[in-house]
């Protein structure tokens, strides 16, 4: 998407910092801090729009899932960044084992999807449901972004 719109993006920074889901409180705080720093750095380079693979809500959800706790600083990081649009990706495509993902079982995927949705709704954040095959997903996203840019 970033290439399509001739802009930059922020990857899921956690993937640069950890190689397994065996991390601790300090690791998750570092992930949150680095994710936030990268957003601030990339927004200065963006051409009208900045794509972010993830956000601090996601970091909080995984912190709660893997560690059973969310360090309060992750909420502070969350409040430092405002997004214009959220896209929530459905689980209707096959799960891909990429070496870090470990929740491939359908029941777990559904549980995590529901957690993401609930957190967005709890915060009254508007989101667009992205589902279908890869081409349909791309169309949903580009239609929404084109509308925003008009």
Structural domain contains residue 51: yes
Residue 125 lies in a domain: yes
For position 74, what pLDDT does the model report? 98
**Would residue 77 count as lying in a domain?**
yes
Write down the pLDDT at residue 125: 97
Tell whether 2 is covered by a domain: no
Over the stretch 9-21, which tens digit does the pLDDT of each residue have? 999 998 888 877 7
Query: What separation in angstroms does the CA of 129 have from each of 29, 74, 105, 123?
Result: 29, 25, 21, 16
Structural domain including 55 reads: 9-149
**Number of domains the chain is built from:** 1
> What pLDDT does 36 receive?
98
Give, in order, the Cα–Cα distances in Å from 73 to each of 37, 76, 123, 131: 14, 5, 17, 32
127 is a domain residue: yes
Mean residue pLDDT across the chain: 91
Q: Does residue 75 form part of some domain?
A: yes
Integer Cα distance of 85 and 144 in angstroms: 9
Q: Give pLDDT tens digits for 33-85.
A: 999 999 999 999 999 999 999 999 999 999 998 899 999 999 999 999 999 99
82 domain-assigned: yes
Per-residue model confidence (pLDDT) at position 105:
62
Model confidence pLDDT, tens digit, residues 74-122 = 999 999 999 999 999 999 987 666 555 555 566 788 888 999 999 999 9
For residue 92, give the CATH number of its domain: 3.40.50.300
């Amino acid at each position: 998407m970033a290439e399509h719109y001739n802009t930059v993006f922020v990857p899921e920074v956690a993937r640069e910092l950890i190689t397994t889901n065996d991390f601790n409180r300090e690791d998750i705080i570092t992930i949150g801090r680095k994710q936030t720093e990268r957003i601030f750095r990339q927004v200065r380079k963006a051409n009208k729009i900045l794509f972010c693979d993830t956000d601090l809500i996601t970091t909080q959800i995984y912190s709660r899932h893997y560690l059973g706790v969310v360090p309060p600083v992750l909420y502070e990081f969350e409040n430092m960044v405002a997004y214009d649009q959220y896209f929530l990706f459905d689980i209707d495509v096959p799960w891909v084992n990429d070496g870090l993902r470990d929740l491939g079982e359908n029941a777990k995927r559904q549980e995590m999807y529901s957690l993401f949705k609930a957190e967005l709704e709890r915060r009254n954040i508007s989101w667009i449901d992205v589902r279908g095959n890869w081409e349909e997903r791309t169309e949903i996203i580009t239609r929404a972004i084109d509308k925003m840019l008009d």
